[in-house]
Amino acid sequence: MMMFGYGSHWAIRQVALMWVWMTAFGGLPLWAVYALVKSGTAHRPGDGRRGDEPRHILSQRLARGEIDTGDFHRLSSLIVDGDRTSVATADRQ
């Protein structure tokens, strides 16, 4: 008499399926936590220093040939002067 899988291979299959389900449902919450942490620490546009973005745009325009080096240096100095002005006005407030 075979009861409860004794004498057959059902017990091995059931244990294997149990491990598959445990891994899937145990790994899913871990993956979800990892994804939330990773998305919370990802770099977003606008993070960091405000002055980096205009300089990057100027560098791209120079690389594409839209402006020459003289314009690049003139506009870069305006950005630096603008940063100093905004810092000075923030200190006064």
pTM of the model: 0.37
Categorize the per-residue pLDDT at 90 as very low, low, confident or very high, splitting at 50, 70 and 90.
very low
Categorize the per-residue pLDDT at 6 as very low, low, confident or very high, splitting at 50, 70 and 90.
low
CB 69 within 8 A of CB 62: yes
- In tens, the pLDDT along 31-86 reads 899 998 888 776 665 555 555 688 888 999 999 999 999 999 998 888 877 655 55
Can you list the pairs that 75-81 forms with residues at least 24 positions away whose Cβ atoms lie under 8 Å? 79/51, 79/54, 79/55, 80/51
pLDDT confidence of residue 1? 47
The full set of domain ranges for the chain reads: 9-38, 52-92
